[in-house]
Amino acid sequence: MSRAPDLRLIVITDFGLTHDPLNVVRRALAAGAPAVQLRHKTATPARLLELAREIRDLTRAAGALLFVNDRLDVALAAGADGVHLGPEDLPVAAARAVAPDGFLIGYSTDRPDRAARAVRDGADYIGCGAVFGTTSKQVDGERIGPAGLERVVRAVDRPVVGIGGIDTDNVRQVAATGAAGAAVIGAVMAAPDPAAAVRSLLRPFER
């Protein structure tokens, strides 16, 4: 890509927090969310592809990015902008070898050395956490705090996005580390007013 991707806020879907997650995505995009990550651990590949194509249409209309969690095959088939990989997924180097030009690859780690290696292997950004802990999944070590996030920010020359327990009350601590943005699940997906939540979460990262 000719310029760095806008990762000030990545809204991650959760299909257990709301009865109409796609409507929440629509409201988040209308409020200015620059990126969405499709995460649905229990969906079949066919259903995940269907959802990815639906959300891709929404993100394209809004000028936003779509990432698919874990599944490079689904991301490519859906025409998504990128994939987000974890330590148990396809290695970054293998994904980069088959990804088309301009396709974005994110990688999750809270360790500076692993973040640096992922960047060398072709990662475009690092998802780092859990910054404040999380209830969305089991995370070894749980809370790294803003200081742990800042160590990863300083270790790489790519955008780092904080994740884990981030909400409208603590997002300024994330921005203060030099992180490019925040990735959130419940702070938007379970918010009474997703649009207002998005605006509040973006504010500390305004350019």
pLDDT tens profile 52-73: 999 999 999 999 999 999 999 9
Average pLDDT, the chain: 95
The class (CATH top level) of 9-205 is alpha beta
Residue 164 vs residues 119, 129, 130, 139, 185: alpha-carbon distances, Å = 21, 6, 4, 9, 8
Query: How many Cα atoms are found within 13 Å in the side-chain-facing hemisphere of 112?
Result: 11
187 C-beta neighbours (distance < 10 Å), count: 24
pLDDT tens profile 92-107: 999 999 999 999 999 9
pLDDT tens profile 101-152: 999 999 999 999 999 999 999 999 999 999 998 766 555 557 999 999 999 9
Tell me what pLDDT residue 1 has. 43
Record the tokens describing residue 37, joined without a space: 């990550």
Domain spans in the chain, listed from the N-terminal domain onward? 9-205
Tell me what pLDDT residue 138 has. 52
